[in-house]
Chain A
């Protein structure tokens, strides 16, 4: 048993729902107890879908346990077929049904329905949501896709986008545009937007674009083997990756690379003088492996940040991310325990967190700015406006999203200059983030401050055996609040390393000089 409050991923059958809901003409019959329908509201509320997910639940109850559940399952299958007339069905069990061993796959075969019935084997007690999506899509392809004649013009499939995917909707649009500019048609986008008959003609494409390895890699590997479709390895998030992706596509398609950069503003924004203050900002990244790896490259090479840590919650991407982390000289954190992520963030004390919904809350608790780069996300990250992560516009969106929570250069400079003015005192807070400004506390008399310093000194002695002399403590307070924590830590670290027990004003400035960059 594992004590859990927050989970980054749902159970695998939610992954299967993401595939089914993204597709059309496909129905999912899920052998599950009453109550598992809660997952519907992820799609109708978070993603704001205007239809019910194409899922029929058997919703068995305690009184049905025994042979009756098998009967319930068969009826549910037949009813679903009659009502929805799908082109194909996927059949599976949720975690509870897995325990009662009704074998939905076997039963569905005996029903004799005139459509493909695709059984899913999703081990709920070992695997999670992303595996569920990947495996489901792979099974659908394996059952339906067959070698077919290639399209006359060069075309490709977009593989991996699903319902409830982070910015999948707009990434499809962006990539379709990029490929079109090169003269490459999109044959099928799947699972999102595809029907079972579309799946049958996947093989007509010349190659696959693997958009999200988490949800499409197994299918791409199978298609490479069985249908002879090579697939792209570079995920075009960030401008560097987008350029590499175009080069990769050019090779696969045998077409000269074309990338219209007239809409691209991100590199200039990043080069402009106001962004100088972003240099060396210490960032921590966490999310799914794909987004973290792509964003780490952006953070370092395109924004000039200092990547001080990264990690992912999906162990399927652990090996890849460890390799990327090594290249950045950091240790990858592979964990699905948000308390461990929180402890790591606390220890690293970054200036910016790039993470998921959970890291947003961790950042809020620790007072560290945060931008969301990966699922799981909440309703606000399924925006009405166009906001891809991939391609040209994706790079623009990412620049804005990441810089927004940081105090911009000019603002930071002004805050520093006017830090003694009453509008800009430490507790005043940011101007427009809803935090109510607090009046500045009355001036503390010199004596009181010395006394406060002493108390502080005594507290510190026990804990660290390093003390701040009152004058140094006072000097520290002159440093703007948003870098004060870092200055304190750096100075203490500097003092510890040199065996200095008392921090004076000089120690403070020596440390500052030591860490200057």
Chain B
């Protein structure tokens, strides 16, 4: 792969038995995906059909963003909606009518299912079909579930993208589809690199607008930029599209391997590949080396959150010199994750699912130098003297591909540097 990195370990983690646990999960539900998805799809509105809890969750997760006239809201179920199911559909029509009247700029509307709407079996797919008919051609109405009983955190994006795949038109064109909502700057870098190699035409899912539509079919090949897109992966394969397996583009090694997989598919010569990637690779190497100084030799423990844990553990162990103690994932999809598991040397516990109290006990016993966890655990662990990095930031911040590789290492090294800097005790 590259002369700088250790060769792939003779035995990666692919065969490692996975520790599966059931118990209390300290994770977000899929509704949170809306927070970053709505910014990516600029003509879409996300209407959660749920309870006050759902609305409260969105506002807690969205923080101050909620006042930038966001394109998401909750239709809060009330007592009367629970009494009889017949008028729930009428109520939904009324709320959607009210919404579309107020926001005439909306072209796609997602009816997002929640735990309460799933439990009372409110048929949102039928509602979406009915409304698509009613509001066509101005507005397309789709539905997916972001409920906690079915989805964990980033799986909400997966469910959303998977709901869009069946409505893409049929096409026989040979095109590359990049799948996963990336920050604009990152998406442009990825497309730029591939176009410089002559790969194309390139499409992205989700597209910024419903107008940027494209077809899909047996000649479509797709590459995932995010590891949690397993249902979307399946939905695309059902449409005949073919997946390009690759490690995920984190760090210099990950990005290079990802680009190489795509380049091979499109028959790019090694020479051209090297010419295009040489400079950004050198930059990324340098940036990671600088940012990861304080990470070298340190141990890391991942609590499950976003499914980014395995590729990030691969980046931290292979490019930043860390040792992984435990890599917790909410959900492990073998086929999608295999290239990263192959590169992750044996050693860490791979844990799927969670019993949070038992996992906390393991973490306390291991006393890792850095724990990657959610905001509900971060301050309590800090108070116990453990250094933490809160994981949600990894989903919001640009971290993929070459130019962000240094920033990515920086996100992990900053908490350790801070712990060294703070001297709050008396000098004596």
Contact = CB atoms under 8 A, between A and B. Distances in A.
Interface stretch (A46-54, A146-154, A296-304): A46-54
Interface string B367-383: 00000001111111011
B152 interface: yes
Contacts of A262: none
A34 B25 contact: yes
Interface stretch (B6-14, B76-84, B411-419): B76-84
Contacts of B66: 5-6
A60 B149 CA distance: 6
A95 B149 contact: no
Tell me which of B52, B82, B383 has the highest count of chain A C-beta atoms within 10 A of its own C-beta.
B52
B19 interface: no
Contacts of A62: 118, 147, 149-150
B interface, size bucket = 35 or more
Contacts of A51: 380, 383
Given A5-B73, A96-B119, A128-B52, A41 B357 contact: no
Interface string A334-364: 0000000000000000000000001001001
Nearest to A365: B67
Given A1-B81, A60-B149, A99-B119, A44 B380 contact: yes
By DSSP majority rule, is chain B's interface helix, strand, loop, or mixed?
Answer: helix
Interface string B78-115: 11011000001001101100110000000000000001
A79 interface: yes
A264 to B, nearest CB: 34
Interface string B53-66: 10111011101101
Contact of B52 (A5, A48, A65, A124): A124
B28 interface: yes
Nearest to A361: B67
Interface stretch (A7-15, A237-245, A395-403): A7-15
Given A44-B379, A51-B380, A33 B29 contact: yes
B26 A1 contact: no
B78 A41 contact: no
A83 B357 contact: yes
A157 interface: no
Nearest to A339: B102
A45 interface: yes
B378 A44 contact: yes
Contacts of B98: 3
Contacts of B82: 99, 125
Contacts of A52: 376-377, 380
A329 B53 CA distance: 37
Given A33-B149, A52-B380, A3 B99 contact: yes
A11 B375 contact: no
Given A50-B379, A365-B67, A1 B76 contact: yes
Contacts of B379: 44-45, 48-50
A381 interface: no
Interface string B325-369: 000000000000000000000000000000001000000000000
A33 B147 contact: yes
A250 B52 CA distance: 43
Contact of B120 (A9, A39, A58, A99): A99
Contact of B149 (A50, A96, A126, A364): A96
Tell me which of B24, B66, B82, B95 has the highest count of chain A C-beta atoms within 10 A of its own C-beta.
B24
Contact of A7 (B52, B79, B120): B52
A57 interface: yes
Contacts of B375: 40-41, 44-45
B297 interface: no
Contacts of B57: 35, 38
B51 interface: yes
Interface string B25-62: 11111111000000000000000010111011101110
Interface string B133-157: 0000000000000011110100000
B402 to A, nearest CB: 32
A57 B31 contact: no
A7 B74 CA distance: 10
A10 B53 CA distance: 6
A481 B49 CA distance: 44
A76 interface: yes
A11 B56 contact: yes
Tell me which of A13, A14, A38, A61 has the highest count of chain B C-beta atoms within 10 A of its own C-beta.
A38
Contacts of B51: 11, 95-96, 124-125
A160 B167 CA distance: 54
Contacts of A34: 25, 27, 29, 148-149, 152
A2 interface: yes
Interface in A303-341: none
B26 A65 contact: no
A36 B76 contact: no
A56 B24 contact: yes
B166 to A, nearest CB: 21
A59 interface: yes
Contacts of B377: 44, 52
B75 interface: yes
B25 A1 contact: no
Given A1-B92, A7-B56, A124-B53, A38 B28 contact: yes
22 contacts: A1-B95, A3-B74, A4-B75, A5-B70, A33-B115, A34-B25, A35-B30, A36-B29, A37-B25, A37-B376, A39-B56, A39-B60, A50-B383, A52-B376, A61-B149, A62-B118, A62-B147, A65-B149, A76-B24, A95-B51, A99-B116, A358-B67
Given A11-B53, A37-B24, A65-B119, 12 more contacts: A1-B81, A5-B74, A10-B56, A14-B56, A38-B32, A44-B376, A45-B375, A52-B380, A65-B149, A94-B53, A95-B116, A99-B119
